[in-house]
Amino acid sequence: MALAELKAKINDRSAILAVIGLGYVGLPVAALFAQKGFQVIGVDIKQQRIDRINQGISPIEGKEPGLSDLIASVVDSGKLVATTDYQPLRDADIILIDVETPVNDEHVPEYHALRSAVQSLASVLKKGALVIVESTVMPGTLEKIVLPIIEEETGFQCNTDFYLGNCPERVMPGKLLHNLTKMSRVVGGGNEETADVMAALYRIIVEADVDTADWITAEIVKTAENTYRDVQIAFANEVALICEALGADVWKVRELVRKSPGREMLFPGAGVGGHCIPKDPWLLASSVRDTGVPVRLIPAAREINTTMPHHLVRLVEAQLGELKRRKVLILGYAYLHDSDDDRNSPSQILVRLLEKAGAQPVIHDPFISAYKGQVLEKADGCDLAVLMTAHSEYSKLNLKALAAKLKKSILVDGRNVIDPESAEQAGLILVRLGDTSREAN
Ligand SMILES: NC(=O)c1ccc[n+]([C@@H]2O[C@H](COP(=O)([O-])OP(=O)(O)OC[C@H]3O[C@@H](n4cnc5c(N)ncnc54)[C@H](O)[C@@H]3O)[C@@H](O)[C@H]2O)c1
């Protein structure tokens, strides 16, 4: 099938779409294209996930406006069908790949899922199909990994027998459908014609710019935008540590810094987590590993952000001294407010560090089954609390009751959720990350 024919099939919605990897990214994408009239086949290796989706139930637990209803409706209409079997992909005209792309302990891309997905796809890929990698990858991955696997397994030639592109996702848990439809996208094509067809496809679901580029540009844009965020957060964290040491309030400093033109300052906090920000900077850095480019800022920012939970432990120690047998209530285990996503969450590091020091962490999270429950019940018998995730529930805490339950009536706030005056009125001793201004006065 030529690209012109594929474009016509996109325009009249007769193209059959497949989405490989039905996680935080792939599932909402599959549902949106199904809603727009495409027949969509969703593939995942997790049978339980497939079963839930085919029952019309979203497997994503956090607050995700519109997603549950959308999945129920497209499954009910038969437009989205999920399976663990790659065979139905023999009919697919367009295949989106949305599998996880982690890095290993040495910060090197770990492409088990991507390789396996591409290999399985290659065994059933039909001539003329368009393959789009939506996963975030190390710049150079399309050319060095995805393209050779497909060409070797199929004997097809790119840009003649099949087409290849990338369209990195910009979603964020809690705003999946919003970001997918409202945020601009970059499509990278193996040639200009492929990029144009891809843009036509994405303009069906995206109500913002869809910019065309080549593979390497699109790969760099995605990893660079997340690296930018990591570096900016690291800057805010470093300023927070400086404020603490100098008896100042980073939140006041931030407010005033931002009055200077062009000086945006992100939020400092208890750490950075999720599937993306902790690894995308390493994906970018890895792309020049053998070139001699001195990559210095990216590792420094990573170091600052991954050690913020260590700083939280120091704040706890400053209050409790010896941590052995101390019970510490951890408020929030997900990495992001109102989400169930706990991948690489700073709370995981905090728990490990506290346990290593002999303390007993008690974890509460309203969105993660293992940690659900009443905050006040969990607080009973704990020495102090550490607020790690800005879940909405925590901004409505009964501070007086919490102060009464905690042996030391202390809360260490790693996310600037608790208002200092309200805490004072409630008799709760508030330790704020980045703020020692009240101690200094
Ligand atoms: N989560 C985010 O907020 C976000 C945002 C932007 C980009 N991304 C990128 O999107 C990609 C996917 O992220 P995610 O958060 O959706 O991951 P996820 O872990 O939620 O989903 C990935 C899914 O792929 C499935 N999978 C793995 N190997 C497979 C295979 N061989 N065949 C079929 N299915 C397979 C897994 O079972 C899983 O359900 C990553 O590259 C990530 O960096 C994620």
- The CB of 226 under 6 Å from ligand 1? The reply is no
> In this predicted model, what pLDDT tens digit does every residue of 374-433 receive, in sequence order?
999 999 999 999 999 999 999 999 999 999 999 999 999 999 999 999 999 999 999 999
Q: Kindly give the distance from the C-alpha atom of residue 329 to the centroid of ligand 1, in angstroms, as a whole number.
A: 31
- The CB of 3 under 6 Å from ligand 1? The reply is no
**Is residue 217's pLDDT more than 60?**
yes
Give the mean model confidence (pLDDT) for residues 145-156. 98
Neighbours of 258 (CB within 10 A): 12
User: Does the annotation count 276 as an active-site position?
Assistant: yes
Give the closest residue (by CA) to ligand 1 atom 36.
21
Distance, C-alpha 23 to centroid of its chain: 11
Q: What pLDDT does 440 receive?
A: 55
Give the closest residue (by CA) to ligand 1 atom 30.
117
> In this predicted model, what pLDDT tens digit does every residue of 58-115 receive, in sequence order?
999 888 999 999 999 999 999 999 999 999 999 999 999 999 999 999 999 999 999 9
Q: What pLDDT does 61 receive?
A: 84
Please report which residue ranges of 258-374 form alpha helices under DSSP H.
Answer: 280-286, 297-306, 308-320, 346-356
- The CB of 97 under 6 Å from ligand 1? The reply is no
Distance, C-alpha 272 to centroid of its chain: 10
> In this predicted model, what pLDDT tens digit does every residue of 290-306 receive, in sequence order?
999 999 999 999 999 99
Percentage, residues of the chain above pLDDT 90:
97
Determine what percent of the chain falls in helix, strand and coil, rounding each to the nearest 5.
Answer: 45, 15, 40
Closest listed residue to residue 240, CA positions, set 273, 259, 268 = 268
Q: What pLDDT does 404 receive?
A: 98
User: Does the annotation count 372 as an active-site position?
Assistant: no
Residue labelled with tokens 């295949």: 95
Q: What pLDDT does 60 receive?
A: 92
Mean pLDDT, rounded, of the chain = 97
User: Which of 84, 123, 169 most suits a substitution to test ligand 1, by most atoms within 8 Å of the C-beta?
Assistant: 169
Query: What is the number of the ligand 1 atom nearest to the C-alpha of 136?
Result: 41
**Is residue 45's pLDDT more than 60?**
yes
Amino acid identity at 19:
V
DSSP letter for 155, please.
Answer: -
Q: Which two tokens stand for residue 388?
A: 């790690």
